[in-house]
Amino acid sequence: MAPQNLKAMAGTRRAKIGSFLVEFNTPGIGQICQAAGCDFALVDMEHSGFGIETIKSVLRYMQAADLPTIVRTPSRNYHHIARALDMGAEGIMLPMVGSAEEAREIVAHVKYPPQGHRGVALQVAHDRYAPGPVLGKLRAANRRTTVFAQIETKTGLANCEAIAAVRGVDCLWIGHFDLSASLGIAGQFEHADFKAAMAKVGRACRKHKKAFGRLVPDVKSGIAMYKAGFDFLCYSGDAWILQSAMQEGIGALRAKCKGGRAGPR
């Protein structure tokens, strides 16, 4: 298992394996993910429809399971980033980061002064409602919060090395569907241009000692991605895992229950 802290995880090349939540916000979800062996969870606000109240609840479920959690915000705007952090997100993932300037602005939104300009609200969800010395809390939060910058546009790809060089960015994360669409080869993940794009981002991560992540749809793809240099692997997602398992089981039952005679009623 990877170290149970996102900042520590980002500092090692060991495989960190988690899953993606876009649909289920049941109180047991953190325990379910933790029992399944997840090192982290990635909770989506960009495409899921989860609002800030839902995120606040989900983060308490994850906290109860001691499962480090990344929240993907719906934008790079300060109010989205700061509210997710105040609700207790340990990591923040930002969509469509296009330049070093954008990355520096994101880091400033995430960090308290003097490293940034995040607004201060204490004894709320992010510090578990506990009292304590203010400066100590701000320093601890600045050390702990972890930034995942998504590379999913032509512009972000062109500037990936400069983004990786930004202090405070911990991981570059390929947004594979959006990146392929931006390259004009939507969904063609075996295309030479897409493979070259992944390799370019991987080189930037290695050069600047940053973690490298992406979603993986299945085990075979995940193994290939790890061998290609990815170390944060987010295995599928809640809705797709359920649908796949259900489809497999129902399909097998249907195949074996055809044409035979049912037992007595």
DSSP string, 135-147: HHHHHHHHHH-EE
**Dist CA 96 CA 75 (whole Å):** 9
H-helix or E-strand spanning residue 29: helix 29-35
Which residue of the set 47, 79, 80, 126 is catalytic? Answer: 47
Q: Which residues pair with 68 in a beta bridge?
A: none
47 is catalytic: yes
Contacts of 30 (CB under 8 A, 6+ apart): 41, 58, 61, 62, 63, 64, 65, 67
- Let me know: does 236 contact 19? Beta carbons within 8 Å: yes
Number of H helices and E strands in the chain, helices first, is 12, 8
- Residue 168 vs residues 5, 27, 116, 235: alpha-carbon distances, Å: 16, 32, 10, 25
Tell me the CA distances in angstroms from 15 to 33, 36, 152, 230, 252, one per residue in order.
Answer: 17, 16, 22, 8, 33
Given a contact cutoff of 8 angstroms between Cβ atoms, the answer to whether 81 and 110 are in contact is: yes
Residue 245: exposure state from Cβ atoms within 10 A (0-12, 13-18, ≥19): exposed
Task: Please give the positions annotated as active site.
Answer: 47
